[in-house]
Structure 1
Amino acid sequence: MRSVELHQMNRGECVVLRGVEKNILMVDCGEPACGVSGLMKRYAAVTARGLLLTHWHEDGLLALDRILRVNPDYFHRIYLPASPCDKRGRPLMLEFALFAHVFQEEREGVFDLNTAVLRLFPVLSGKVGAGRITALQADRSFRFDGVEYDVLWPAEKAFPFTDLFSSAVENMNVCLSSPFLPGAAQEFLKLKEEFCAAYTACCRTLPMEQTSVDRMTEFYNRIEKMIPRLRALPPAQDIKEILGRPTTQAAYAFECRAASVIFHNRRKSEASTDDILMTGAAEPESMDAVSSRLYGGYYILKAPRHGAAGAWSHIFGEISAAHILIIHGNNREQEEIAGEYIDLPGIRHCTDSTGCPWLQSSGCSCNRMSCCYDLPRPGLTIKCLFCQGPEAVAPSATEGVSKHNLPERIAVGACRPHGPACKILVISSTGARSCLCDGKPANINWM
């Protein structure tokens, strides 16, 4: 891995792993501050582009839609999260999405949150080909830039759905199970089972096979034709009421996050700068589930869900990480960043200071907290080597980056650390910048 780039986002997250073989793996695809066109242009010259969606979220789906509208061939390989099954083998998230698609009247097309999990496989196979698409779940692996990556989560079977969510799906099934209802009810339940079976079979093939995608599409289209009859059934209003409950919607959103793909590199021998733990939007319960498979330390830890306090896991305090990535969107209300990250010894790389408790209380970056007494007058030490100017940065970290995006000099009093550059860049709407999260011109002069 040559470098890592964090994109400053309006919404969502986007982390790009750049390989030494001039290829990239884009992990999630939110709405970057530079716009989708700027994102596409930045990586237009690379030889191979991969996309890995860690979870079903509207931000990433809408950005992906815009990219594929401009260039359907932009991504050479796409990894999507598989839909996990409970201990009975039922993919409850799929069932919920089908109920929502059929009985909720307000929809936003293929890339709507509920519809996407049902339609994205066929849509993408039509654009890029089924052979380029792989579903990811626990115990799967993939290769990027000569490194093998192991998927730790979500579990394929016995996924720990919450009781609230399981009950909501079960109650909607019960609404249609009466033998006294018109035949459309039983027909839908049968087609739902066949669709879910076809979807699960689609996820098992590596990569996907077009025949499996076609079979899934067939059942989906048959359900689509039944929608007017299904909405006229007596229990339709009861199902809409279940779907419309705030508790039900919150439970589904939680399951989407809890089923987020968690992966790390396969360590062959000793620790290295390839050691990276990517957490998507994982909930603390998901981190607990994979804790036994984690390494004792990583070079890079990506904080889940924008570094939000609600996504903080005690696991992060038990493993070490030299660098912590926090991608915090700046165009909507966000949950406050977990203050516990400040106590970790690693360097924090933030795309935006919104919601940062340290900045709000101290007025400066959390990466400048120690004093250097070797200078004529004591001054704060800036830990990130990228801040030390072009002469302190390894060439591989700045390749393709304009000199106008590099700092020419440091604030008075900063001392120069020793060692290689971290090769972690934050890409803002105006270009690459360092990991300092306060972004005050008085601290660093940009040329």
Structure 2
Amino acid sequence: MKSVDLHNVEYGECVVLNGHNGGILMVDCGSSNQKIRERDVPFTAYVNPTLLELYGNCPERSFLLTHFHRDHLCGLRQILSARPGWFQRIFLPAQPCDRYGSPLLLEFALFVYSFLGRQTDYAIVNVSSLKILERAVQLTPAAQVVPVGQGDCFGFDGVTYDVLWPPRRDCVFSDLFAGAVEEMNVCLSSPFLPECARQFLALKNAFCQAYLACCAGGPLDALRVAECSRLLAEIDALLPAVNLLPSAPDIQEILNRPVTKAAYTEELNAASVVFHNRRTQEASTDDILMTGDASPETLDALAELLYENYYIIKAPHHGTASHWSHLLSEISSSHILVSNGDYQKAGKIAPAYLELPAVKHCTNCSACDWYAVSGCSCNRMAVCYDLANGAGLTIKCPYVCGAQQSPDCGIFIVGAAGRRSCLCDNLPVQIN
């Protein structure tokens, strides 16, 4: 890995690993904001043409989606629509199953798809997870589309990366979420309901099994994806009758419960793809831990698989306090990536990150209480160990001073106004 671009997409995420051979691995591309405050640029314009032009000449382009939330996903949809075949490889998250082999996230998505309005944000997320296999195969016919889960690996720039999460089997879901899925299944299980209720349950189960077969391992098979599409079309044809069932309002009530929505959101986060490089020698600048929106419980489950130190750790869930894990203070790192921004419903950056000795690279300081109170970057007193002349304060970095075209750490914060340093109060000093 030659360098890392951390893109300012406001409250969202887009991290690009740049290889020595000129190739890229883009991890997520999405935003919850319509506009990026930096130069007031619409997010859609930042993706197309800005991102597409920035990496347009790369000889190899790969994409990895960590999970199906809009702030990680919507840019991928735009790229696939604007430039079919732009990515040669796309890695998608595998669907985790509980101890009984049931893919509860997928089942839940089908219930939302079938019983709620398609234009709500809630429904859009679910439509993405249900149809992304078909869309990826159609728009990238020459590409490898590979679902990945725990135990899988992939290569980039001569480095092997191990996928640590999510598990395909024996995934633990919260009682609240698992109970909601079971409650909806029960709503359609009465023998006194019309035949369409049994048909729906049978098609739902068949679709889930077909989807799991697609994600079993290796690149997607077009015939298996076609079977998923066929089953979803049969479900579509059944929906007018299903939504007239006496139990349909009960399912809608379950789906619209605030606690159910919150539980589903958190389960999607907890199922994020987490990966790191496979070490073949001693620690190096290739050591990176990518966490998506992983929950503290997910990181706890992975504790024994993690290294004691990394060069770079991406803060889970935009560095918010709700996803802070004690492991982040127990595992040393040289650099922390925090992708956050101005968004009403988002959490702020956890104060615990300030206590870490690592240099923080933040896309936006609007969600940082430290900056709001002090008016300066927390990195001003941070020691960087990557400077050419030896360890020193980050303010002594030639890139920060504008005297060098590339930082010694190889980490760029990239936005609509160009590239800038890790000092968030030094925005005018930019190197494009």
TM-score (norm 1): 0.88
Residues 384-424 of structure 1: per-residue CA shift (max 9 Å, x gap): 45314344x6xxx47xxxxxxxxxxxxxxxxxxxxxx0010
For 1:2-41, list aligned pairs within 5 A.
2-31=2-31, 33=36, 35-36=46-47, 37-41=49-53
CA distances 1:356-408 after superposition (whole Å, capped 9, x unpaired):
1221232211111269xxxxxxx9762645314344x6xxx47xxxxxxxxxx
SS in 1 for 2:170: coil
In structure 1, the residue matched to 2:69 is 57
Q: Is the 8 A contact 1:305 1:311 kept in 2?
A: yes
Cα deviations by residue, 1:186-243 (Å, 9 ceiling, x for unpaired): 1111111111111101001301111111111111111111000100111000000000
Shift of 1:334: 2.5
Contact kept? 2:165, 2:274, Cα under 8 Å:
yes
The AA in structure 2 aligned to 1:382 is: I
Paired letter, 2:395 = I
Q: Partners of 1:269 and 1:254 in 2: how far apart?
A: 36
Deviations 1:259-298 (A, max 9, x none): 0000000000100000000000111111101111000000
Deviation at 1:109, TM superposition (A): 10
Post-superposition CA distance 1:170-190 (Å, at most 9, x none): 000000001111111111111
Kindly provide the amino acid, as one letter, of the partner of residue 14 in structure 1: C
Residue aligning to 2:414: 427
Q: Equivalents in 1 of 2:251, 2:382: separation in Å?
A: 58
Identify which range, 321-330 or 27-36, moves more after superposition: 27-36
RMSD: 2.1
Structure 2 CA distance for partners of 1:370 and 1:194, relative to 1, 3 Å: closer
**Greater CA drift, 41-50 or 25-34:** 25-34
1:319-349 per-residue CA deviation (whole Å, 9 max, x = no partner) reads 0000000011235442110111111111000
Q: Secondary structure at the match of 2:161?
A: strand
Corresponding position of 1:412: none
- What amino acid sits opposite 2:286 in the alignment? D
**SS of the residue 2:56 aligns to:** coil
Aligned to 2:400, which of 364, 377, 387? 387
State the alpha-carbon separation in 2 of the partners of residues 297 and 235 from structure 1.
53
Whole-Å separation in 1 of the counterparts to 2:14 and 2:106:
25
Task: Give 1:19 shift.
Answer: 0.3
**Quick one: distance in 2 between partners of 1:383 and 1:357?**
25
Task: Give the secondary-structure state (helix, strand or coil) at the position aligned to 1:30.
Answer: strand
How far, CA to CA, are the matches of 1:224 and 1:315 in structure 2? 45
Counterpart residue number, 2:297: 285
Q: How does 1:77-88 map to 2 (within 5 A)?
A: 77-88=89-100
Q: Give matches, 1:80-229, under 5 Å.
A: 80-107=92-119, 112-129=124-141, 132-229=144-241
Percent identity (aligned): 48
Assess, with a 3 A threshold, how the Cα gap between structure 1 residues 26 and 163 changes in structure 2: closer, same or farther: same
Go from structure 1 to structure 2 and tell me whether the alpha carbon gap of 1:265 and 1:235 turns closer, same or farther (over 3 Å shift). same
Counterparts of 2:308 and 2:348, CA distance in 1: 27
Q: Which residue of 1 aligns with 2:273?
A: 261
Residues 1:296 and 2:308 are matched in the alignment: yes
Tell me the residue number matched to 2:256. 244
Please give the secondary structure, in 1, of the residue aligned with 2:342: coil
Distance 1:264 1:446, change over 3 A: closer
Q: 1:108 to 1:123 in 2, by over 3 A?
A: farther
Q: CA deviation at 1:11?
A: 3.4
Match runs of 1:298-447 below 5 Å: 298-369=310-381, 382=395, 384-391=397-404, 397=406, 421-439=408-426, 441=428, 444=429
1:130–1:208: 8 Å Cα contact kept in structure 2? no
Measured after TM superposition, the shift of residue 46 of structure 1 is 0.5
More deviation in 333-342 or 162-171? 333-342
- Deviation for aligned residue 1:166: 0.3
Given that residues 68 and 74 in structure 1 are in contact (C-alpha distance below 8 angstroms), is that contact kept between their aligned partners in structure 2?
Answer: yes
Contact 1:368 1:383 in 2 (8 A): no
Contact 1:384/1:434 (<8 A) preserved = no
Q: Counterpart of 1:10 in 2: which secondary structure? A: coil
- Which letter does structure 1 place at the counterpart of 2:340? H
Which residue identity does 1:12 align to in structure 2?
G
* Distance of 1:3 and 1:296 partners within structure 2: 22
SS of residue in 2 equivalent to 1:90: coil
Please, what TM-score do these two structures have when normalized by structure 2?
A: 0.91
Query: CA distance change for structure 1 residues 78 and 332 in 2, over 3 Å: closer, same or farther?
Result: farther
Runs of 4+ residues deviating >4 angstroms: 108-111, 444-447
| 1:433 maps to amino acid | R
Judge conservation of contact 1:131–1:209 (CA < 8 Å) in 2.
Answer: no
The CA deviation at 1:131 is 5.4
The number of residues matched between the two structures is 412
Please tell me whether the aligned partners of residues 258 and 281 of structure 1 are also in contact (alpha carbons under 8 angstroms): yes
Find the aligned partners of 1:14 and 1:380 in 2 and give their Cα distance. 27
Letter in 1 for 2:417: T
Structure 2: gaps spanning 5 or more residues: 384-391
Contact preservation (8 Å) 2:118, 2:124 = no
Cα offsets for 1:292-316 (capped at 9, x unmatched) = 1000000000001111111100000
Q: Who is 1:414 aligned against? A: none
Q: Residue 134 of structure 2 contacts residue 229 of structure 2 at CA under 8 Å; is this kept in 1?
A: yes
- Residue 62 of structure 1 and its aligned partner are, at CA, apart by 2.3
User: What amino acid is the match of 2:24?
Assistant: I
Could you tell me how far apart the structure 2 residues matched to 1:76 and 1:296 are? 33
CA distance in 1, matches of 2:265, 2:326: 22
Kindly name which structure, 1 or 2, has the bigger radius of gyration based on alpha carbons.
1
Contact 1:137–1:153 (CA under 8 A) maintained in structure 2: yes
> Structure 1 residues 238-247 or 130-139, which shifts more?
130-139
Q: Residue 234 of structure 1 is aligned with which of 236, 246, 257?
A: 246
CA contact (8 A) 1:110 1:120 kept: no
